[in-house]
Structure 1
Amino acid sequence: MARENKYLFPRKLLVILWLISLSSIPIGITPSMGQVTFRPPKAQAPKKSIGGASRDASTCGADMSATIQASVTPLLPKTNIGLTVAERPTIFVYVPQTNAKTALFALQDERGKQSYQRILHLSKKPGVIEIKLPSSVSALKIGQNYQWSLVMICTEELEPDSPWVSGWIRRVESHRNFNNQPTVQLASKLANMGIWYDSLATLAELKRTQPNNPTITTSWQELLRSVDLSALAEVPLTN
């Protein structure tokens, strides 16, 4: 009996230590849950659309040595179109350091009918700006394409060679009830479904509220790298 107890105690100890180690792991968390990788849908930008960007920001007197990337760049997949389930999605654009103080943002439907237009005030520092469509804008219609554009105002008025970018949005119907509370898990689900604008917006909101959270920072970088925007993965949000 003494010999049996001699070997039984270490076994019990191993079991206890194993249970303690499990208790330190958050329930329901797996290593892959924080990963945010975009899975491209089959959606393509309309064939009649023009290119997504113009000449670089040196047209506005940018300090090229101080910028990570010279061109105004839409945060979009290579297809230049992104899906959304939101009635009024948020658009993200990288703006390099430039002398331009303002830019013109416009939104129109596929037929060219303008839905929204406003002047944006730009930060003096390079970074990613986010453009939120206000409640006064009519909700995007499900299944329809919309084109947005951002034109840098280098002088007092628009010029033919002003730097600009454009991109497309298609609103799709959501067949899932997503939790409105932004989480990395929500961003991951949206990215996996190919819902670009909403996945990016979810992570952007998390970055604003938790700027020092390494998981959120890594998730933002992973999402941008998954669509070949590695050069902008560590660029800050400027508004």
Structure 2
Amino acid sequence: MMTRQKWLLHKIFNPKILTICALTITLSLTQATLAAYKPPSDQKPPSGYTDSSGIRGRCKTIGTGSLTLLAPVTHVGQTTSVHPTFAWFVAHHQRMPMEFSLYEFDNNDQPHKLIYKSQLQSSPGIMKLSLPQEQPGLSVGQKYLWQVEILCNRNRPSRNLLARTEIEVVAIPASLKDALNHEQDRTQRATLYAEAGMWYDALSEALNPSNTGELGKAAANLIQDLANLEQSPNSGDLSQIALGEN
């Protein structure tokens, strides 16, 4: 039996199927202001490389709802970090090989240049990856495509489960930089980033203190904000979030 301190988030915002199971949310007892994500005022639609579902391929053993990117899919999410953090959710408990890839878009809006690739093993719950500091930083003003692929069948890549979306690196606004310089609390920093439309920075701050596979209150609030946004008539296909009840 679940309490209101531990919820089960069954469905999130992969814009067509949006099914996530067994994501534990640990709610804090503090009354701090929670982050509220507001998309960039100049939000851009994704290219054709991010389709309406955000998911391609099918793993027979785990199903399409097994992988969800914790990032905007119906618009291009922004970051001020040149070494951003990427996050996704794995619903299945079967450990499988996984590959993270990051591509740079060229002047023709084609993601041809591979920037970074990492081989991983899937793990149930939230997984995150930060671009290593020893890697060259991303370029401000540049758009990138990132994807996570579960390698269901190395001999038949079309069967692999692939989720992809886009990220844009932007210069940090002076007002936001000044506010961050006067704020050390991670929840409040996440709120500042979220209200400025910087999804990746906000989620990174919110996830930082969390245990692997768990979601704190600020991060859960952010993800619900994005889920609500992505299911609105103006933002693409409907999505549903089901929270466990007592």
Cα shift at 1:96 = 1.9
Instruction: Give the equivalent residue in structure 2 for 1:17.
Output: none
Among candidates 153, 157, 160, match of residue 162 of structure 1: 160
Instruction: Give the equivalent residue in structure 2 for 1:27.
Output: none
Compared CA separation, residues 200 and 146, structure 1 to 2 (3 A): same
Compared CA separation, residues 136 and 203, structure 1 to 2 (3 A): same
RMSD across aligned positions (CA):
2.8
- 2:223 is aligned with 1:224: yes
Give the number of aligned pairs: 190
Among candidates 148, 167, 172, match of residue 170 of structure 2: 172
Greater Rg, structure 1 or structure 2?
1
Instruction: Give the equivalent residue in structure 1 for 2:116.
Output: 116
Cα shift at 1:39 = 0.4
* Cα contact 1:73–1:165 (8 A) shared by 2: yes
Cα distance in 1 between the residues matched to 2:80 and 2:243: 24
Cα distance in 1 between the residues matched to 2:60 and 2:150: 8
SS of 1:70 mapped into structure 2: helix
Among candidates 150, 153, 156, match of residue 152 of structure 1: 150
Instruction: Give the equivalent residue in structure 2 for 1:203.
Output: 206
Q: Which amino acid aligns with 1:96?
A: A
- 2:135 is aligned with 1:133: no
Instruction: Give the equivalent residue in structure 2 for 1:40.
Output: 39
Cα shift at 1:217 = 2.8
Q: Which amino acid aligns with 1:188?
A: T
Q: Which amino acid aligns with 1:204?
A: L
Structure 2: gaps spanning 5 or more residues: 1-29, 107-111, 229-239
* Cα contact 1:71–1:96 (8 A) shared by 2: yes
Cα distance in 2 between the residues matched to 1:102 and 1:35: 35
**Structure with the greater relative contact order (CA < 8 A, sep ≥ 6): 1 or 2?**
2
Compared CA separation, residues 114 and 233, structure 1 to 2 (3 A): farther
Query: If each structure's helix is expressed as a fraction of its own residues, which one has the higher value?
Result: 1
* Cα contact 1:115–1:137 (8 A) shared by 2: no
Compared CA separation, residues 113 and 78, structure 1 to 2 (3 A): closer
Correspondences of 1:49-88 after superposition (within 5 Å): 49-51=49-51, 52-55=54-57, 59-62=59-62, 70-88=65-83
* Cα contact 1:100–1:153 (8 A) shared by 2: no
Structure 1: gaps spanning 5 or more residues: 1-29, 235-239
Cα shift at 1:43 = 2.0
Query: If each structure's strand is expressed as a fraction of its own residues, which one has the higher value?
Result: 2
Q: Which amino acid aligns with 1:36?
A: A
Identity over the aligned pairs, expressed in percent? 23
Cα shift at 1:141 = 0.7
* Cα contact 2:148–2:164 (8 A) shared by 1: yes
Cα distance in 2 between the residues matched to 1:189 and 1:203: 11
* Cα contact 1:182–1:203 (8 A) shared by 2: no
Q: Which amino acid aligns with 2:219?
A: W
Write out per-residue CA displacement over residues 57-80 of structure 1, whole angstroms, 9 at most, x where no aligned residue.
xx1512x7xxxx824111123424
Write out per-residue CA displacement over residues 94-137 of structure 1, whole angstroms, 9 at most, x where no aligned residue.
112154521111111012111011101122xx311101111232
